[in-house]
Structure formats: structure tokens, C-alpha cells
Amino acid sequence: MSESKIYLSSPHMGGTEQSFVKEAFDTNWIAPLGPNVVGFEKDLESYLGNGNHIAALSSGTAALHLALILLGVGKGDEVICQSMTFSASANPIVYQGATPIFVDSEPETWNICPNHLEEAIKDRIAKGKKLKAIIAVHLYGMPYRAEEIKKISEKYEIPIVEDSAEALGSSYKGQKCGTFGDISILSFNGNKIITTSGGGALVSRNLKHKEKAIFLATQARDAAPHYQHSEIGYNYRLSNISAGIGRGQMEILDKHVALRRKMNDFYKDIFKNTDGVKLFTEPNKNYFSNHWLSCVLVDKNVCGFSSEEIRLAMAENNIECRPLWKPMHLQPVFKNAPYFGGKVSENLFDIGLCLPSGSNLTDKQKIKINDVLIPFIDK
């Protein structure tokens, strides 16, 4: 990576990762199993608490895919999914031959709207459709309305797959994100709050879910002396090397969360007197966001400049910014999928911008970011 470029969210090592990786080399555990994999799973189970079991996997997408398999999602079924999210939240639905049903966000947390969720459920039931799961996402680390979504889930007996890929370290009413779903998933991609370079995890309070996920993730090999398979399996297990990086990262997770939240405060201070620019923050004290990415909404009619103008100015100075996720119902690949809601997610995409948020940004880099933003603030 170029040292001169300021990235949106880059990997941040703590220093002890190499010792875990070295141990794997020294003991020849160069495989998709081993002491680091077991240790990483235990570290995550201890961190999340709540009686959860962890299966360490090759990606968050793999975890979502296995979650849908465990819930029996198959051809002809339907799965509700938050529209305002990254495509990896929705793609596994299609892997299983099912149809995604997209639901709009609500404006406070930017996550799945309870009212439109229930509207979608009622519509699909009336049409005789079989809804197998609800995929709810904690966008940019902000917890979704967990209690309301859970109540709807229980009312209609549709399990929740909690996409906590962006929200490790976040919590709602003191309960950690990654523990609200019937099955939950985490991501350790290179840009996440902690990383294993590439990796993810499936989370469940049901030990059988963990055991079946690991079975499927290791090619679904039956208990036999020869290679025998009664089910289709996948190569989804996390490597012992990657898990070693994860073990070191777990030691500094809370520190990284604090630094990301400090970056959010940095932008709060910059934009505090700028009408028309709204920083994405918690709606009340029940919510605790890791602020994986700090984001702003820019109303050009009020402030006189757009989010795209900021992005271009930052790009000219070798600073990476990015529009918010383009909603799934606007994506060409999902153009025929049903959608329930209004224009909340579309408006967020139109005027929103993700700003550099890494836990490893230096004071010098913050000064550079500030200097690029000052001309906009002074307009």
C-alpha cells in the first residue's frame, strides 16, 4: 500500500499477531484447522458471551451462506433482506435458489424498517409465499432496532440471520451485536474493525448449528475411514494461519473500537457548525456503535455543496472516500426482486458519504483531512 494515500479503512495490526502465526509455522499447523482456529473461536465466544458458539470460516459471505443452509432455505423459498447493505448480504440467498425480498431502511439507524418489514411479510404470506429468514444488518456498525425486529420475527415465526459483519464491538442496551440473531455472522475482511486478512464466523447459541456449519465447511465428509459424502459440502473453514492473525487482533479489539469512535468525534468537531451536513451517530444512549465507518449526509440545498464534491476534492488529495452502499433493489442484478418501502435508502445513497475512519490514522493524516474539508465548511 502507498504510504501517501489515506485509505477509508485499512488493516491495523497490534503487534502480537506475528507470534501466533510463527507458532503455527513452528508447529507445522499450516492447514484449515489447528490450535489457532480453536483458540480464535474461544476468544470470540468469550468476547460475545451470552452462551454463543462460534464456527470460524473463510469469510462473512460463507457464514451467511451456511446460515441459510442451516435454516433450510432452498429453491423457491423467499428471504427478506435489508436493501441498504453490501451485496454479500443478499448474494447467498441466490446461491440457494431462493428469492430476495428487499426492505427499505428507517432514517435513524439506516437499518431495516420494522414497519416495511411487517408490510413485506404480510404481502408475501397473502400471496402464499414461504418466507424462510430475515437478514437484518447493523450498517456501518450501527445496531438495528433489535427489539422491534425480534418481536416481528417471533410473531410470524421467521428466524433472523443477523449480519454483524460491520458491527463487532457494537452493542444495543449492553448486549453485543453478533448475539441478536437466531444465527449471526461476523466478518474479518481486511477493512473491518479487526481482520484475519480474509475470514468470518458463524455465531449461534445452538451448539448443533456450530457443529453442522463446521461439517459443511469442511466438505461434508462423513464419519468413515474413506472419503464419503452424503451431503454437498464447501471449502469454507478458516485457516490456522489466518486464525493466528485473528487471535492477535482480538487483543486490541476494544482499543480499535475506541479509536474508531474517536474518529467519529473528530468529524463531529469539524462539522459541528455546518448546517446541511449531518454526521451519522447513535439515536440515543441504548445504541453503542463501533463507528466502523464515519458517514455524513450532505444536503446541497442547505450547505451549498454535495457529497460528491467532497469526494472529488478528497480524491484529488489522495484521500479515499466512498458513497454509501447502493441499495440492493437499485442494483441491476436484483432489478426483478420485490421491494417494500419508500425512498429512505435511495436518499441516503444519493447524499451520503463514507469518510476515512481507520483506527490507524495519524495526527498528520487527520490534519490533511481537515485541511481538505475546511474550504467546504467555510463556504
Dump pLDDT digits (tens) for 144-157: 999 999 999 999 99
Question: What's the pLDDT at 31?
Answer: 84
Question: What's the pLDDT at 3?
Answer: 55
Region of 235 on the Ramachandran plot (φ > 0 left; ψ -120 to 50 alpha; else beta): beta
Question: What's the pLDDT at 28?
Answer: 94
Rounded distance between C-alpha atoms, residue 363 and residue 266, angstroms: 11
Report residue 376's pLDDT band, with 50, 70 and 90 as the boundaries: confident
Grid coordinates standing for 159?
A: 428466524
Percent of the chain exceeding pLDDT 90 equals 96
Question: What's the pLDDT at 304?
Answer: 95
Residue 105's identity, in one-letter code, is: S
Report residue 378's pLDDT band, with 50, 70 and 90 as the boundaries: confident
Fold designation for 17-252: Aspartate Aminotransferase; domain 2 (3.40.640)
Question: What's the pLDDT at 4?
Answer: 86
Q: Answer positive or negative: Cα dihedral of 64, 171, 271, 275.
A: positive
The closest alpha carbon to 170, from 266, 55, 47, belongs to: 47
Q: What integer is the mean pLDDT of 194-209?
A: 97
pLDDT at 142 over 90: yes
Spell out the domain ranges in the chain: 17-252, 254-377
pLDDT at 166 over 50: yes
Q: What integer is the mean pLDDT of 303-312?
A: 96
Question: What's the pLDDT at 1?
Answer: 45
pLDDT at 15 over 80: yes
Question: What's the pLDDT at 379?
Answer: 64
pLDDT at 2 over 60: no
Dump pLDDT digits (tens) for 214-240: 999 999 999 999 999 999 999 999 999
Which of the two residues, 50 and 245, has the higher pLDDT score?
Answer: 245
Q: pTM for the whole thing? A: 0.96
Among the CATH numbers 3.40.50.360, 3.40.50.720, 3.90.1150.10, 3.10.20.600, which is that of 254-377?
3.90.1150.10
Question: CA dihedral in degrees (307, 312, 317, 320; nearest 10)?
Answer: 70
